[in-house]
Amino acid sequence: MLRSSFSTSTTSAEVTKVDALCDFLEVYIHSVLYYRSAYPKTLFEDRSAFGILVKCSRHPELNQYILDAVSAVKTEFAKGDAAGDVMIEIIDEQSQPLESFVLEISTAKGLYDS
């Protein structure tokens, strides 16, 4: 996992497909939160991931929340069953949905091929 540091410390041979997918998911969540202004833009900073600059939260509690969510998804992906879709929902203070984003993981060809 990138653990919100977005610095790849492993070689590509050590990274599984599930790890790579979860790393992408972590970056995706940070990006959604930044570009949809779910939090003040000043809360984010530039980090490097996958050879490009991306926005990453600087808030430790938000970062831990994202890591916990990605970890839960990783547990399901690691079971080896067909992956489902992942939905990210931005809610307001009353827990009412404002926006939803769906990653259609189930359509990713070759995710579980050897």
Tens digit of each residue's pLDDT (9 = 90 or more) over 68-110: 999 998 888 877 665 678 889 998 899 999 999 988 877 665 6
Q: What is the pTM of this model?
A: 0.79
Residue 47 phi/psi, 5° resolution? -135, 165
Are 32 and 24 a contacting pair, CB within 8 Å?
A: no
**Residue type, position 9, single letter:** S
Q: Which residues contact 113 (CB under 8 A, 6 or more apart)?
A: none
Stated as kind and residue range, the H or E segment containing 66 is helix 60-78
What's the CA angle centered on 19, arms 38 and 71, to 5 degrees?
A: 55
